[in-house]
Structure 1
Amino acid sequence: MAIEDRRQRERADRRRLIITTARKMAEAEGWDAVTTRRLSTEIEYSQPVLYKHFTGMEQIAEAVAIDGFGELADVIRAARSHGGAGNGTTLTLVARAYLDFARDNPAVYAAMFTRATTLRFAAEDTPPELTAAFAELRQAIGVVGDQQDADTLTEVFWAALHGLVTLGGTGRLRPDYDPDRLRLLVNQFS
């Protein structure tokens, strides 16, 4: 059994290496630069080894996205825990943490939200990392949401944050007004 355990660990390590390397390449050069050929060269394994773990680049990008959702959940949880007593303060910290995560990890954010994937929200097969990210946002909104439908309110807040990320990232918003937009958004929810 020890040999089988070692093989499983090695397989998991190779899978992790593929995901980590794809993420680093995407962050450095964009997703268009990440191909199975370049990836196999970078990690020093043949392309067939990659295909033993993933069917193609879409599945690799989905794995990066799932990791990203887990990280986003952690970031939001940390922001919520530092929020203190003020509901608006907590929501501001959560929103700022979300926007900072997207800014600091643009390729991961793209994998999470703009690349075509088979990942689904609010379904039986939703990966737990996606559910956790939504749940963390919901916790922050639940504090200020009173009797309103917290799930729908969370979706609207998330959509607004995503809009700020997307429009800001493409230069379609005035950059000097980021703090004003954030304050207005939080005020609408608190």
Structure 2
Amino acid sequence: MKKPNNTYHHGDLRASLLREAAALLRDSGIDGLSLRRLSERVGVSRTALYHHFSDKHALLCALAADGFAQLDALMQPLSPASNAPPAERYTAFAKQYLDYATKNPSLYGLMFGHTLWRDKLADDSLKQIAYESFRHHLAAVKRWQEAGILPKEQDSLRLTQVTWGTLHGLAQLVIDGVYADSTHLEDICQCVGQLFCGMRTAKPQ
């Protein structure tokens, strides 16, 4: 066991705890992740750890929230500042989304799984960032509908649910081993981009 390390600043310690907790989650799953193991792995006292996470549930919510923050950063290819064609931008987004999900299957499962959502156990911070991420996708869909890139006649919310649900379903199929041949992902992502954006010719706004 490492000796407690009191040289961390609080902000640095929280980032370190989340990074090591994500590694524990990846290696041992939710059941193998505990505050005791985390404090030993990072080399800090329980008191220092409890300053950031009151219990395991708080840690899991923080981990999921951090995952959504990373996922939200992938929305950049959908930004109106990009000059790339819409289908190309959405294809790039799809690639990054699937790459993130399939390289972080345990974290991705925590972010979207029943552990935190089925019994309404997600805390306010997690719900806020998860919904904010969805709103960013919704805003992009609305912009592209207005530009004629996506069908204007479709309800924006439902269209966002369909596009996000498609990516989530593809990611889960890869994670579960149904789509075991990852060499097909390039073509799948291009198909997604063409399906949602390739039928329209208007320039993005």
TM-score normalised over the length of structure 2: 0.72
- 1:143-154 maps to which residues of 2 (within 5 A)? 143=144, 144-147=149-152, 148-154=154-160
Alignment length, in residue pairs? Answer: 178
Q: Which amino acid aligns with 1:58?
A: H
Q: Which amino acid aligns with 2:127?
A: T
Displacement of 1:49 after TM fit?
A: 4.0
How high is the sequence identity, in percent, across the aligned residues? Answer: 28
Equivalent of 1:157 in 160, 163, 166? 163
- Let me know the Cα RMSD of the aligned residues: 2.8
Matches of 2:175 and 2:95, distance apart in 1: 15
Kept in 2: contact 1:90–1:140 (CA 8 A): no
- 1:97-136 maps to which residues of 2 (within 5 A)? 97-114=96-113, 116-117=115-116, 118-119=121-122, 126-127=127-128, 129-136=129-136
Question: Cα distance 1:115–1:54, how it changes in 2: closer, same or farther (>3 A)?
Answer: farther
TM-score normalised over the length of structure 1: 0.77
Question: Cα distance 1:35–1:125, how it changes in 2: closer, same or farther (>3 A)?
Answer: closer
* Residue 188 (structure 2) pairs with residue 189 (structure 1): no
* Residue 179 (structure 2) pairs with residue 173 (structure 1): yes
Q: Structure 2 unaligned segments of length 5 or more: list them.
A: 1-7, 198-205
Kept in 2: contact 1:15–1:53 (CA 8 A): yes
Q: Write out per-residue CA displacement over residues 65-115 of structure 1, whole angstroms, 9 at most, x where no aligned residue.
A: 1111111111221x2348534221111111111111112322321221125
Matches of 1:164 and 1:74, distance apart in 2: 20
The higher-RCO structure (CA 8 Å, 6+ apart) is 2
Displacement of 1:11 after TM fit?
A: 4.0
Instruction: Provide the residue aligned with 1:5 in structure 2.
Output: none
Instruction: Provide the residue aligned with 1:46 in structure 2.
Output: 45
